[in-house]
Amino acid sequence: SKRSSHVHAIRKVFHKQLMELWRAHPVLNKRPEFTKTHFEVEGFTFLPIATNANGLICKLDLLMLRGGDPGKALSDIDNRLKTLFDALKMPKGAQELGEGTSDGKQVPDATEKPFYVLLEDDSLITHVAVISDGLLESVPDIPPDEAVRFILDVTIRPYGVTMDSLDFV
C-alpha cells in the first residue's frame, strides 16, 4: 500500500536524527559492541538502538499536535500512532519498503549506510503516554486535516540489568 512509502519517508527523517544521536551520545558512542547489532533487510543495513538481543526496551512520551479543537480533532489518534510506531522500527521486508506502490521499493542512498532506527521491533515499546493538542501552525504542503507534528521524549532502558546494559540504567 501507499502507506508503506509514507512510513518509510518518516523513518528517513528519524534516521537523520538518530545518526546524529549515535555520533553525539556518550553511551551509544562509548559502547558500540553492545548496541551495534546490524540487520540486513532488502539491501538496507539497519542499526537499531533497542533490540531483542540487547534487552533494551523503550518508553515513549508523546506530544501530538494536530488540527481541530480539543475533542474535535481533524484526524484520528490510533492510526497516527500506528504510523509513528512503524516509522520508529526497522521494516521486516520489501512490502514495508514500498514494494508494490507507485514509488516502488525503496533502496538506501549513500547517507543511509547504515540506516539508523530506534527499534528492531515495535513490541519493544513498553510504555506510551500521549498528550494531544492543537496544531497552531500549518505544515507546508500538507492539508490541515492530515497535518500532525509529534514531539517525542524517548527513554531507552534495559529490561533486566546486566554488566553490558548498565550504562542504560
* CB of 90 closer than 8 Å to CB of 7: no
Kindly state the helix (H) or strand (E) to which residue 18 belongs, with its residue range: helix 2-24
Comparing CA positions, the residue from 58, 76, 57, 56 lying closest to residue 66 is 76
Residue 75: predicted pLDDT: 66
Q: Give the cell for residue 164.
A: 553490558
Contact 2, 99 (CB under 8 A): no
Average pLDDT over residues 48-71: 89
Within 13 Å and on the Cβ side, how many CA atoms surround 158? 15
Secondary structure (DSSP) of 52-113: TTTTEEEEEEEEEEESSSTTS-SS-HHHHHHHHHHHHB--SSGGGGTTTSTT------GGGS
- In this prediction the pTM is 0.90
Mind listing the pLDDT tens digit for each residue in 66-98?
887 777 766 678 889 999 999 999 999 999 999
